[in-house]
């Protein structure tokens, strides 16, 4: 079996091979989507290559809230299929494919009013537990647990006593997002895929019928150009989708609107709590996620029209009679299709 190394020598060998041999599948984009596609293709025995113009996971896949969740909030849209599928995947990651990278994480769902809110929240979380059980075909995280105000304060001492009457504890999972991507790529390489980072697709050559026959990549380390011939080229480029479709000479069916997500990162000792918090906001939800040394609080979701590769903090100032609000740092860009 080939080695799973992602070192400079393997990279050079892969690039040289790709200049000579045609592959069945060329995946453009080494975020979590492309890495998963490459692994899927390689394990089916297809001759596979994956390239990324930056490092593996350098796009949105290293800037997420680092949660593997079924999307409790999608239950509000009655999207049961989506939630069940995500919980199925969560179960596989937790128990089989990446238990070293994905950790079960308890969250508190704070309740502001007694009885009615507790009852309907219990139904929602109960459905989430049930879909998790059905999806994974076994229990992979504990079921919901109901807490009084006193117990909530024991678990989360800094929760404001006057803001809640109790809580429900439920489970989701935390992931090291960038390591998960690298591990997927390494595993694909182990199954024979060629993986080349810092190799940007700049052209998509086509035959007389207009069919894409491969890609021209620029090796950002050497400046050289290599043409890779491929039976199929799969774009997994997230917010860069419209640009890649443009290289293929098509406006394409997908329109992706970039948006900016902001997380606040707070030292762990500033908030006393032994679980995460799941809060509903006016427009969406907000997670307070515990990490070993920090709390990660987010995320926002606002449009982003600047450089996709380097989302940066924007200081927005507007004139009011008294204040100058500041915006905090963006952590990524979200693709909406």
Ligand X SMILES: Cc1cc2nc3c(=O)[nH]c(=O)nc-3n(C[C@H](O)[C@H](O)[C@H](O)COP(=O)(O)OP(=O)(O)OC[C@H]3O[C@@H](n4cnc5c(N)ncnc54)[C@H](O)[C@@H]3O)c2cc1C
Q: Which stretch binds ligand X (CB under 6 A): 45-53, 93-101, 138-146, 271-279?
A: 45-53
For residue 326, CA distances in Å to 159, 285, 313, 318, 331 come to: 26, 22, 10, 9, 16
Cβ distance to ligand X smaller for residue 65 or 182? 65
User: Does 31 interact with ligand X (rule: CB under 6 A)?
Assistant: yes
- Count Cβ atoms within 10 A of the Cβ of residue 68 and give its class: 0-12 exposed, 13-18 middle, 19 or more buried: buried
Q: What are the residues facing 13 on neighbouring strands? A: none
Q: Are 232 and 266 in contact (CB under 8 A)?
A: no
User: Does 195 interact with ligand X (rule: CB under 6 A)?
Assistant: no
Which x/- pattern over 207-246 shows residues binding ligand X (rule: CB under 6 A)?
A: -----------------------------xxxxx---x--
Q: Are 70 and 87 in contact (CB under 8 A)?
A: yes
User: Does 332 interact with ligand X (rule: CB under 6 A)?
Assistant: yes
User: Does 58 interact with ligand X (rule: CB under 6 A)?
Assistant: yes
Q: Which stretch binds ligand X (CB under 6 A): 164-172, 226-234, 269-277, 327-335?
A: 327-335
User: Does 15 interact with ligand X (rule: CB under 6 A)?
Assistant: no
Strands (E), 135-188: 145-148, 166-175
User: Does 30 interact with ligand X (rule: CB under 6 A)?
Assistant: yes
Q: How far apart are CA 325 and CA 307, in angstroms?
A: 23
Sheet holding 194-196, edge to edge: 194-196, 48-51, 23-28, 225-235, 214-219, 199-203
SS3 category, 299: coil
Cβ distance to ligand X smaller for residue 108 or 335? 335
Cβ distance to ligand X smaller for residue 149 or 218? 218
**Smallest distance, ligand X to C-beta of residue 149, A:** 29
User: Does 311 interact with ligand X (rule: CB under 6 A)?
Assistant: no
How is residue 305 written in tokens? 């029209």
User: Does 28 interact with ligand X (rule: CB under 6 A)?
Assistant: yes
**Choice from 41, 52, 168, 193 touching ligand X (CB under 6 A):** 52
User: Which residue, 122, 117, 29, 131, is CA-closest to 83?
Assistant: 131
Q: Which stretch binds ligand X (CB under 6 A): 50-58, 164-172, 226-234, 270-278?
A: 50-58
**Smallest distance, ligand X to C-beta of residue 117, A:** 25
User: Does 276 interact with ligand X (rule: CB under 6 A)?
Assistant: no
Q: Which stretch binds ligand X (CB under 6 A): 25-33, 96-104, 116-124, 139-147?
A: 25-33
Q: Which stretch binds ligand X (CB under 6 A): 15-23, 27-35, 129-137, 269-277?
A: 27-35
Cβ distance to ligand X smaller for residue 108 or 239? 239
**Which residues does 215 contact at the CB level (< 8 Å), separation at least 6?**
26, 28, 51, 201, 203, 204, 205, 227, 228, 230, 233
Q: How many CB atoms lie within 10 A of CB 128?
A: 24
Which x/- pattern over 136-175 shows residues binding ligand X (rule: CB under 6 A)?
A: ----------------------------------------
H or E segment and range at residue 106: strand 102-111
Cβ distance to ligand X smaller for residue 41 or 164? 41
Interface size with ligand X, residues (CB under 6 A): 33
Cα–chain center distance at 114: 35
Q: How far apart are CA 190 and CA 152, in angstroms?
A: 47
SS3 category, 155: helix
Cβ distance to ligand X smaller for residue 22 or 200? 200
Q: Which residues bind ligand X (CB under 6 A)?
A: 28-34, 51-54, 58-61, 64-67, 200-201, 236-240, 244, 261, 299, 331-334
């Amino acid at each position: 079996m080939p080695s799973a190394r992602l070192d400079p020598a393997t990279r050079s060998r892969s690039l040289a091979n790709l200049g000579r041999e045609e592959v069945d599948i060329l995946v453009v984009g080494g975020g979590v989507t492309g890495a998963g596609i490459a692994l899927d293709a390689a394990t089916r025995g297809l001759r596979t290559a994956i390239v990324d113009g930056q490092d593996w996971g350098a796009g949105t896949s290293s800037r997420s809230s680092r949660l593997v969740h079924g999307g409790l909030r999608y239950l509000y849209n009655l999207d049961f299929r989506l939630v069940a599928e995500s919980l199925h995947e969560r179960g596989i990651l937790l128990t089989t494919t990446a238990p070293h990278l994905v950790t079960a994480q308890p969250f508190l769902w704070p309740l502001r009013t007694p009885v009615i809110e507790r009852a309907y929240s219990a139904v929602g979380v109960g459905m989430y537990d049930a879909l998790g059980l059905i999806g994974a075909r076994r229990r992979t995280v504990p079921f919901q647990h109901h807490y009084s105000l006193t117990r909530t304060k024991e678990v989360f001492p800094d929760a404001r006593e006057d803001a809640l009457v109790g809580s429900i504890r439920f489970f989701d999972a935390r992931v090291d997002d960038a390591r998960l991507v690298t591990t997927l790529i390494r595993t694909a390489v182990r199954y024979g895929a060629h993986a080349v980072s810092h190799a940007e697709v700049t052209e998509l050559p086509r035959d007389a019928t207009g069919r894409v026959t491969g890609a021209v990549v620029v090796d950002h380390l050497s400046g050289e150009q290599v043409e890779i011939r491929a039976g199929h080229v799969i774009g997994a480029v997230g917010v860069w989708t419209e640009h890649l479709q443009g290289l293929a000479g098509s406006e394409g069916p997908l329109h992706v609107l970039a948006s900016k997500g902001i997380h606040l990162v707070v030292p762990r000792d500033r908030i006393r709590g032994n679980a995460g918090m799941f809060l509903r906001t006016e427009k969406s939800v907000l997670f307070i996620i515990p990490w070993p040394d920090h709390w990660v609080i987010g995320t926002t979701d606002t449009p982003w029209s600047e450089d996709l590769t380097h989302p940066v903090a924007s200081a927005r100032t507007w004139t009011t009679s008294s204040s100058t609000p500041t915006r905090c740092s963006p952590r990524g860009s979200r693709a909406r299709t």
